[in-house]
Structure 1
Amino acid sequence: MKVKLTLAAITLALASLNTQAAEFLLTDAATGSDVGNWQVTSSTLGMTSGPAFSVEKRRLHGGKQEGVDVLVVNNGELSVTLVPTRGMGIYQVTSQGHRILGWDSPVKEIVNPAYIDLESRNGLGWLDGFNEMMVRCGFEWTGHPGYDDDGHLLTLHGRAQNTPVSMVKVIIDDQPPHKITVLGQVAERTFKKTQLVTMTELQTVPGSNAFSIHDKLTNVSDYDDEYQIIYHSNFGRPILEKGAKVTIAASEISPFNDYAKAGLKEWQTYLGPTKGFDEMVFNLKSLGDSKGNTLAVLNNKAANSGVSIHYNVKQLPVIGLWKNTDTESQGYVTGIEPGTSYSYNTKLQRPLGLVPTIKAGESKHFDLTYTVLRSSAEVKGALKEVAKIMKGKDVKLVKEPLAKE
Structure 2
Amino acid sequence: MLVHHDNPARAGMLARMGSLQQAAYTRPIEYQEGRAHGLRAIEVKNGPLRFMSMADRALDIAQIEYRGENLTFLSKPGLNGRNQFDTNGLEAQRSIMGGLFFTCGFENICAPYVTPEGSKYPAGSYPMHGRIRTTPAEHVSSDAYWDGDDRYVLQVSGEMREAELFGENMVLRRSITSVYGEPRITVEDEVTNESFRTEPLMWMYHCNVGWPLLDEGAEVVIPSRKATPRDATTAADGTPWNEIGAPVDNRPESVYLHELVADKDGRGFAGVVNRRLGLGLMIEFDAADFPYFMEWKSMGSGDYVVGLEPSNSSVLGRGWHEERGDLHTLAPQTSERKTLTFTVIEGDEAIDALIARRDALLGA
Superposed CA offset, 1:3-28 (max 9, x none)? xxxxxxxxxx9xx9xxxxxxxxxxxx
1:377 aligns with 2:346: no
Cα distance between partner residues in 1 of 2:324 and 2:219: 28
Quote the residue 2:7 is aligned against: none
Supply the distance in 1 between the matched residues of 2:285 and 2:361 (Cα, whole angstroms): 13
Cross-structure match for 1:22: none
Do residues 343 (structure 1) and 309 (structure 2) align?
Answer: no
Structure 1 residue 49 displacement after superposition:
8.8
Amino acid at match of 1:146: Y
Identity of aligned residues (%): 22
1:83-98 → structure 2 map (5 Å cutoff): 83-96=54-67, 98=68
Q: Deviation at 1:222?
A: 2.0
Shift of 1:47: 10
Equivalence for 1:272? 246
User: Following TM superposition, by how much is the alpha carbon of 1:340 offset from its aligned partner in structure 2, in angstroms?
Assistant: 0.9
1:130 to 82, 92, 96: 96
- Matching residue of 2:8: none
Aligned to 1:358: 330
- Describe the SS at the equivalent of 1:85: coil
Deviation, structure 1 residue 104: 4.0
Q: Gaps (5+ residues) in structure 2?
A: 4-12, 118-122
Q: 1:350 to 1:253 in 2, by over 3 A?
A: farther
Q: Which residue of 1 aligns with 2:136?
A: 164
Q: What TM-score do you get using the length of structure 2 for normalisation?
A: 0.87
Question: Hey, what's the Cα distance between the residues in 1 that align with 2:187 and 2:345?
Answer: 18
Q: Give the root-mean-square deviation of aligned CA atoms.
A: 2.5
Describe the shift of the 1:374–1:265 C-alpha distance in structure 2 as closer, same or farther (beyond 3 A).
same
Deviation at 1:209, TM superposition (A): 1.0
Correspondence 1:72-91 to 2 at 5 A: 72-91=43-62
- Helix, strand or coil for the counterpart of 1:334? strand
Distance 1:99 1:372 in 2: 11
> Is the Cα contact below 8 Å between 2:158 and 2:174 reproduced in 1?
yes
Residue of structure 2 aligned with 1:106, choices 60, 68, 76? 76
Pair 1:354–1:80, CA change in 2 (3 A): farther
For residues 284-363 of structure 1, the aligned pairs below 5 Å read: 284-300=258-274, 302=276, 304-327=278-301, 330-351=302-323, 355-363=327-335
Contact 2:104 2:131 in 1 (8 A): yes
CA distance in 2: counterparts of 1:316 and 1:323, whole angstroms: 20
Aligned-partner residue type, residue 167 of structure 1: H
Match of 1:206 in 2: 180
Checking the alignment, whether the CA contact within 8 Å between 1:254 and 1:264 is kept in structure 2 is: no
Q: How far did residue 85 of structure 1 move?
A: 0.5
Amino acid at match of 2:70: I
Partner of 2:167: 193
Alpha-carbon distance change, 264 to 371 in structure 1, aligned in 2, over 3 angstroms: farther
Equivalent-residue separation in structure 2 for 1:277 and 1:186 (angstroms): 36
Q: Does 1:118 align with 2:84?
A: no
User: How many angstroms apart in 2 are the aligned matches of 1:316 and 1:193?
Assistant: 26
Work out whether residues 255 and 264 of structure 1, in 8 Å CA contact, stay in contact via their aligned partners in 2.
no
**In 2, Cα distance between equivalents of 1:324 and 1:286:** 21
Structure 2 CA distance for aligned equivalents of residues 264 and 219 of structure 1: 44
Deviation at 1:103, TM superposition (A): 1.9
Structure 1 CA distance for aligned equivalents of residues 21 and 52 of structure 2: 22
Identify if the C-alpha distance between structure 1 residues 275 and 183 changes in structure 2 by more than 3 Å, giving closer, same or farther. same
Secondary structure of the residue that 2:257 maps to in structure 1?
strand
Contact 1:297/1:383, CA 8 A, preserved across alignment: no
Residue number in structure 2 paired with 1:228: 202
Structure 2 counterparts to residues 41-56 of structure 1, below 5 A: 52-56=23-27
TM-score, normalised by the number of residues in structure 1: 0.79
Evaluate the alpha carbon distance shift between residue 268 and residue 354 of structure 1 in structure 2; reply closer, same or farther with a 3 A threshold: farther
C-alpha separation between the residues in 1 aligned to 2:355 and 2:277?
10
Change (3 A) 1:352 1:258: farther
Q: What's the offset of the Cα at 1:52? A: 2.6
Kept in 2, the 8 Å contact 1:188–1:197? The answer is yes
* SS of the residue 2:359 aligns to: helix
Whole-Å separation in 2 of the counterparts to 1:317 and 1:83: 27
- Contact kept, 8 Å, 1:287 with 1:294, in 2: the verdict is yes
Letter in 2 for 1:128: R
Cα deviations across residues 359-384 of structure 1 (Å, max 9, x unaligned)? 11211111111111111111111222
Task: Supply the AA of the counterpart residue of 2:343.
Answer: T
SS at structure 2 position matched to 1:337: strand
CA contact (8 A) 2:25 2:154 kept: no
Q: Distance in 2 between matches of 1:47 and 1:313?
A: 44
For 2:156 and 2:47, the matched residues in 1 are separated by 16
C-alpha change, 1:50 and 1:92, in structure 2 (3 Å) is: closer
